[in-house]
């Protein structure tokens, strides 16, 4: 690999990790806004999405420039296509954080539906998955990536538990249907954030092993 | 452009349109299963998702091979990056069709919640957007793409109308909370399919004009 290409790839990685940092902060703030009935924090997440979108566009441009300038092959080419895919996943996590923040803003208004404690545990698990998927990319560790994919089952269980409780609450208190529906959406968004972390982990395995495992989880679980 | 590259790009386009056909059929069947309380059609959509995922992987491989073999620049490079992005959107539309089919399978069991007529109109509008976004890609027509982006507002209105009615129904008939929640999810999935058609239209504008309009709808609406 030429030194010039190596330098450009390092810059690309830094840009990607910067994007990951923005997106992680957005998820942390959005879920905090939800738990604390805090409309100001919710609004800050909504306003901050422009920065995420701009950085996503910059990274896509950077990838295309590297492709055009260096015409990389084999692993370097795969690395850039993986950066493009991870960037898309991160941007969607950012959009989902905005979706949670929008629900948080609605839920900050009375009548307050109780926010289940389990959302905090589900948020922690989801954020750990996002962080671990990026760490697996940086270290090129397919075993760490496989652990992220397995962790998704736990988040799915959190999701199912919380939604079962929500359904019971809506049946018992019809006047809470609207806020409960907002909370339902927020929880589903969180669950989808974990799905995107799973996608990123699958991309890491593709990068390292050259095998596409997206949609083939059995290859990991076996 | 070399004849060889041109031939490979034509093959890539055919693969993409084949994927679009699969995905469109999945959306049509999933929404029909929903309206007709038909679990068999729902199951066929769920089973068919493997074909969509396999074709997505094949197209991604095809793109990387073209990049490695021809090292295209400028518009050809942009075309391949756009095919990659459209492929991702189509695959996600396929996933959303599976999500609708899963809800349709649940809703096929009693107690039957009435399926609002407006879902049919919303489905038609959404499918028109998906088709028109692909047509705009094939013809390289940014004006047609801009019309797709504007049409998303109508689907959003359908979504809001249907959900307002659903909320009223859940309040009135708590025993219908669970099926209504499945229907709520199905409608939200349909709304997200329209969002992906919007993404594809934005990619067409990027391809033709070289400007990224994702996240900058004001550039189109002005």
- Concatenate the DSSP letters of all residues of B144-188 into one string: HHHHHHHHHHHHHHHHHHHHHHHHHHHHH-GGGHHHHHHHHHHHH
Distance in angstroms (rounded) separating the CA atoms of residues A177 and A184: 10
Write out the two tokens for A4: 């010039």
Measured in angstroms, the CA of A36 and the nearest CA of chain B are apart by 25
Distance in angstroms (rounded) separating the CA atoms of residues A30 and A44: 9
pLDDT of residue B212: 63
Is A214 in contact with B77 (Cβ distance < 8 A)? Answer: no
Is A177 in contact with B181 (Cβ distance < 8 A)? Answer: no
Q: Which of A69, A66, A48, A46 is nearest to A58 (CA)?
A: A66
pLDDT of residue A212: 63
Is A172 in contact with B174 (Cβ distance < 8 A)? Answer: yes
pLDDT of residue B222: 37
pLDDT of residue A222: 36
pLDDT of residue B216: 56
Long-range CB contacts (< 8 A, 24+ apart) of A46-51? A46/A98, A46/A101, A46/A102, A46/A105, A48/A22, A49/A94, A49/A95, A49/A97, A49/A98, A50/B215, A51/A22
Contacts of B73 in chain A (CB under 8 A): 68
pLDDT of residue B2: 84
Instruction: Out of B81, B174, B177, name the one closest to residue A64 (CB).
Output: B81
Distance in angstroms (rounded) separating the CA atoms of residues A4 and A38: 47
Instruction: Out of A67, A174, A184, name the one closest to residue B171 (CB).
Output: A174
Looking at the complex, does the CB of residue B92 fall below 8 Å from at least one CB of chain A?
no
Residue whose pair of structure tokens reads 């948080």 in the numeric block: A104
Q: How many CB atoms lie within 10 A of CB B117?
A: 10
pLDDT band (50, 70, 90) for residue A216 = low
Burial of A167 (0-12, 13-18, 19+ CB in 10 A): middle
Mean pLDDT of the A127-155 span: 96
> Would you call A2 helix, strand, or coil by DSSP?
coil
Contacts of B74 in chain A (CB under 8 A): 68
pLDDT at A81 > cutoff 50: yes
Instruction: Out of B77, B167, B181, name the one closest to residue A178 (CB).
Output: B167
Its sign, for the CA torsion B74, B75, B76, B81, is: positive
Looking at the complex, does the CB of residue A69 fall below 8 Å from at least one CB of chain B?
no
What is the pTM assigned to this prediction? 0.86
Instruction: Out of B50, B77, B85, name the one closest to residue A67 (CB).
Output: B77
Contacts of A64 in chain B (CB under 8 A): 77-78, 81
Write out the two tokens for A181: 């529906």
Q: Which of B48, B21, B18, B44 is nearest to B32 (CA)?
A: B44
Angle at CA B136, nearest 5°, toward B74 and A96?
85
Looking at the complex, does the CB of residue B184 fall below 8 Å from at least one CB of chain A?
yes
Contacts of B119 (CB under 8 A, 6+ apart): B31, B34, B35, B162, B186, B187, B190
pLDDT of residue A139: 94
Query: Could you list the pLDDT tens digit for every one of the 222 residues in chain B?
Result: 789 999 999 999 999 999 999 999 999 999 999 999 999 999 999 999 999 999 998 998 898 888 878 888 778 888 988 998 899 899 999 999 999 999 999 999 988 888 899 999 999 999 999 999 999 999 999 999 999 999 999 999 999 999 999 999 999 999 999 999 999 999 999 999 999 999 999 999 989 887 666 665 554 543
Q: How does DSSP classify residue B64?
A: H
- Lowest pLDDT segment from A74-83, A192-201, B33-42, B117-126: A74-83
Contacts of B63 in chain A (CB under 8 A): 81
pLDDT band (50, 70, 90) for residue A213 = low
Residue whose pair of structure tokens reads 């929903």 in the numeric block: B34
Q: Which of B54, B16, B49 is nearest to B30 (CA)?
A: B49
pLDDT of residue A65: 84
Distance in angstroms (rounded) separating the CA atoms of residues A33 and A90: 20
- Given the candidates 2.60.40.10, 1.20.58.220, 3.50.50.100, 2.130.10.10, the CATH classification of the domain at B3-221 is 1.20.58.220
Measured in angstroms, the CA of B158 and the nearest CA of chain A are apart by 18
Measured in angstroms, the CA of B188 and the nearest CA of chain A are apart by 10
Contacts of B175 in chain A (CB under 8 A): 171
Are A45 and A30 in contact by the 8 Å Cβ rule? The answer is: yes
- Lowest pLDDT segment from A114-118, A211-215, B17-21, B199-203: A211-215
> Would you call A43 helix, strand, or coil by DSSP?
helix
DSSP H helical ranges for B71-141: 74-107, 118-139
User: Which of A59, A67, A113 is the best mutation test for B, with the most CBs of B within 10 A?
Assistant: A67
Span A46-72, pLDDT tens digits: 999 999 999 998 998 898 888 878 888
> Would you call B216 helix, strand, or coil by DSSP?
coil
């Amino acid at each position: 690999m030429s030194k010039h290409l190596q330098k450009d790839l390092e810059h690309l990685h830094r840009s990607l990790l910067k994007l990951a940092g923005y997106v992680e902060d957005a998820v942390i703030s959005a879920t905090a806004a939800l738990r604390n009935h805090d409309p100001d924090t919710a609004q800050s997440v909504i306003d901050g999405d422009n920065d995420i979108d701009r950085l996503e566009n910059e990274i896509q441009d950077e990838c295309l420039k590297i492709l055009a300038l260096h015409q990389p092959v084999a692993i370097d080419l795969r690395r850039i296509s993986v950066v493009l895919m991870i960037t898309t996943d991160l941007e969607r996590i950012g959009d989902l954080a905005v979706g949670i923040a929008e629900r948080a803003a609605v839920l900050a208004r009375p009548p307050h539906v109780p926010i289940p404690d389990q959302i905090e545990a589900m948020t922690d698990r989801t954020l750990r998955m996002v962080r671990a998927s990026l760490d697996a990319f940086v270290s090129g560790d397919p075993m760490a990536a496989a652990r992220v994919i397995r962790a998704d089952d736990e988040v799915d269980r959190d999701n199912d538990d919380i939604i079962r409780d929500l359904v019971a609450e809506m049946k018992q208190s019809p006047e809470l249907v609207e806020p409960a529906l907002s909370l339902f959406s927020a929880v589903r968004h969180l669950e989808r954030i974990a799905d995107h972390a799973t996608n990123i982990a699958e991309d890491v395995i593709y990068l390292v092993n050259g095998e596409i495992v997206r949609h083939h989880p059995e290859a990991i679980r076996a």
